[in-house]
A and B are shown apart, each in its own frame.
Chain A
Amino acid sequence: GIQVEQSPPDLILQEGANSTLRCNFSDSVNNLQWFHQNPWGQLINLFYIPSGTKQNGRLSATTVATERYSLLYISSSQTTDSGVYFCAVDVYNQGGKLIFGQGTELSVKP
């Protein structure tokens, strides 16, 4: 089956720093989503981005489907950005089921 790999697995930043999280996937996909899991466990949608680039405030994401990767950029990080970031892909002809990466755990220090 498809493999979804995220890097780095852990990241510690000082408040105000920028960061890039990466998601590689091993097969063609229907769509790709980025989520942030908050300290209480809820997965919050960040981007629905099968291809191209999107921006939402300090966050932006780029997916290059032909090269099978996606990047999540966090600029001017804040302590509230801490948590685990997941990418998830929907594989063609798999009925809309998402396959999740293992996540990147981000800790932003004040």
Chain B
Amino acid sequence: DVKVTQSSRYLVKRTGEKVFLECVQDMDHENMFWYRQDPGLGLRLIYFSYDVKMKEKGDIPEGYSVSREKKERFSLILESASTNQTSMYLCASSPIRNTGELFFGEGSRLTVL
């Protein structure tokens, strides 16, 4: 079975802190994605990556950056957390660029105080 693992299920951070959300997949997938989910707004794509050291902006990249140094790992970074970044963050991976089935991790619920 495909497994996508997110490092933390629940985090509480303070405004201005740097936050790292880690995601690891064990199926050698090329593609990895970060979404955030908010009530009434659904799932929105933050960043994605089709290969190591490659990244592309999604629909809401402002305030975020990403890192993909290894194929299996895709990190989401909040350089200076703000309260409007309180959300559920979902990492996903897929094997093929244009037709791949997407698999999600368990999610990381971040609260910024």
Contact = CB atoms under 8 A, between A and B. Distances in A.
B31 A41 contact: no
Interface string B1-23: 00000000000000000000000
A86 B43 contact: yes
B8 to A, nearest CB: 13
**Binding site of B, secondary structure by majority: helix, strand, loop or mixed?**
strand
A103 B99 CA distance: 22
A45 B45 CA distance: 18
A98 B106 contact: no
Given A40-B106, A42-B105, A102 B42 contact: yes
Interface residues on A, range: 20 to 34
Contact of A96 (B88, B90, B97): B97
A95 B97 contact: yes
A95 B100 contact: no
B48 A97 contact: yes
Interface in A48-107: 48, 50, 86, 88, 90, 92-93, 95-98, 100-103
Contacts of B33: 97
Nearest to B56: A95
Given A42-B104, A50-B99, 14 more contacts: A30-B98, A41-B88, A43-B92, A48-B101, A88-B43, A92-B98, A95-B48, A95-B50, A95-B97, A96-B50, A96-B94, A96-B98, A100-B43, A101-B42
Interface of A: 30-31, 33, 35, 40-45, 48, 50, 86, 88, 90, 92-93, 95-98, 100-103
